[in-house]
A and B are shown apart, each in its own frame.
Chain A
Amino acid sequence: MAFLSVNNISIKGIAACVPKFTESNLDYGWISLQERELLIKTTGIKNRRIAADAVCTSDMCYESAEALIKEAKIDRNEIDILLFVSQSPDYFLPATSIILQDRLKLPKTTMAFDIQLGCSGYVYGLSVISNLMSSGQFKKGLLLVGDKSSFSQSKKDKSTYPIFGDAGTATLLEYNGQAEKIDFNLQSDGAGYKSIIITDGGTRNPYKSSSEDLVEVEPGIIKSAKNLVLDGVEVFNFSLREVVPNINGLLNYTNTTLDEYDYIVFHQANKLITETIRKKLKVAPEKVPYSIHDYGNTSSASIPLTIVTQLGHLVKNNSLRLLLSAFGVGLSWGSARLKISDIVCPKLIEI
């Protein structure tokens, strides 16, 4: 069982950046107005932010990191580790984290690498960076997480296009001998790898001219092999099956109950999924914040984006006990228990 406790790490700040450009699902003319209204009501997704062609995930993460470094007034030479978690890197190679090390003017003594995960990426990234820092040899670390999901979508695919939005976030972590431990419960199931997939463009199915061919998969879904595939029912059932036991596992491991948490912050997959999970857990609606209405499913950025936009006014001067739960592509999922106190949280950045 991948239970994990990490000592001596506190979160010093969280920042998020989204594109300025807003697309409303009410204007999504590929489906009827009636279908659009049903989609908004069911998934909770009204608006999504879409990045311009020239803007990459790394650009949004860069802006978030700069805002955090400035507002926290830290010396960037003290950042010993930079981790970039994304499925929309700048290039096949080199790793985007290394480019960001230079762009953020971090010292060459900084360790930098990428992790390729989506929906579960924030919880996974947090577990990796905090664990690497907990021995005290690294004093400060930057976790940059996000995706430009719009990059791989077919506008004529009603099962993916109106769901995803773009965002890039930054979380600053610090070694602190007084910090309360952070706990994780991390899981994987590769048997479901086809449920959320881009089939062409990797080394298994290299990009070829036919990767561009548009095929009508079913009514309302026209896409090519370089576009994202999302099997809604499979992902829905996976989430309903696995998330509650994963959270219960974390609660058992930490000997805590849901009442002890101020907020349960879910990956913003789709409101029907998270609300069904919330009801199964018997958690009050006011304890589950949502950013999905205005930003859509922002992949790995969704948890930090929800904290910044929905809890930003609270985290600056309060101590909050949070349970984070993330699940999706891989299939990969996990949860984390942590306390955040008086953190730096710049206003949402728009570029």
Chain B
Amino acid sequence: MDIGDFIKKIENEIEEITPGVLKADTNYRNIPGWSSMHALIIIALIDTEYNVTITGSDIRSCQTVNDLFTIVKSRV
């Protein structure tokens, strides 16, 4: 599993993110226009791509893209 690939998948799924802007240490809550709807989109993406469940508390506890990636990696 590669974080670059993970970021690319998120960028593909969320049109509002300009490709290249999202980095491993980006706090996704600070992305302009971030909403709870994006959390659902990312949960769906992770479920489809990695067959991993991300809970509401995971989303609340994570800050950065890398935090999220670490959780996914630990559950694959």
Contacts and interface: CB of A to CB of B under 8 A. Distances in A.
A276 B48 contact: yes
Interface of A: 34-35, 38-39, 42-43, 159, 220, 231-234, 236-237, 240-241, 272-273, 276, 279-280
Given A231-B56, A276-B48, A280-B48, A237 B43 contact: yes
Contact of B47 (A34, A35, A276): A276
B41 A272 contact: yes
20 contacts: A34-B33, A35-B37, A38-B16, A38-B33, A38-B38, A39-B37, A42-B37, A43-B37, A231-B56, A232-B36, A233-B39, A233-B56, A234-B55, A236-B40, A236-B44, A240-B44, A272-B40, A272-B41, A272-B44, A280-B47
Nearest to B57: A233
Contacts of A276: 44, 47-48
B7 to A, nearest CB: 20
B72 interface: no
Interface of B: 16, 33, 35-41, 43-44, 47-48, 53-56, 59
A183 to B, nearest CB: 27
B66 to A, nearest CB: 21
A325 to B, nearest CB: 17
Contacts of A232: 36, 40
B40 A42 contact: yes
B52 to A, nearest CB: 11
A43 B36 CA distance: 12
Contacts of B39: 233
Given A231-B56, A276-B48, A236 B43 contact: yes
B41 A42 contact: yes
A35 B54 CA distance: 23
Given A35-B35, A233-B40, A237-B53, 15 more contacts: A38-B16, A39-B37, A42-B37, A42-B41, A233-B39, A233-B43, A233-B55, A233-B59, A234-B55, A237-B43, A241-B53, A272-B44, A276-B48, A280-B47, A280-B48
B54 to A, nearest CB: 8
A241 B47 CA distance: 9
Given A232-B36, A280-B48, A240 B53 contact: yes
Contacts of B54: 237
Contact of A234 (B16, B35, B56): B56
Contacts of B53: 237, 240-241
